[in-house]
Structure 1
Amino acid sequence: MTPQSLVAVAIVGSMHLVGLAMLLALYRLLKGPAVPDRILALDTLFVAAIAQLILFGMHLGTAVYFEAALVIAMLGFVGTVVLSKYVLRRDIVE
């Protein structure tokens, strides 16, 4: 087995594991017992989506997916902050 094929197998295996993590986070998002658990699950989904996009970009050998992952990272951070602020104060705008 050549090193290039070993890396390709590792990337595909990592993509499967990140997909499993996304499914588990989606389950927690839908069945979460409390709102903070659901916010944390949504943040975990954002992080897993970023990882999945980066792995997919590595698999295809293109840089377009890295830019998409950066956009999702920025939107995910802002979304998590806004939801957390809403849960704490029940108001988004001060």
Structure 2
Amino acid sequence: MAPELIPFADGTVLVSFDLTVQETVWNSSARRSGSCEQAYIQVSDRTGRFSRLDINWLVDVQAWVPVRGASTAELASVDDSWYLMDITGTQRC
């Protein structure tokens, strides 16, 4: 989604956009070696015990950008929330 800009009367601008955050999650104490910790994971169409999950988080971001000359404490306010998790790869225990 292209960034959406919504101006307010006080000069503040709301910037809204989506982004993808890539993350690898390990479910073992020794990462690539060793047994998995006791966890049973159900995500998407994959159910079972995994030692590695490659994840794409799709995140909705809204940032309020203040007027020029704002104090440091008012420089930006960001609200984000993920709305979709896509598992791109797994490694079973």
TM-score, structure 1 length as denominator?
Answer: 0.24
| Higher RCO (CA < 8 A, seq sep 6+) | 2
* Structure (1/2) with the larger strand percentage: 2
TM-score, structure 2 length as denominator?
Answer: 0.25
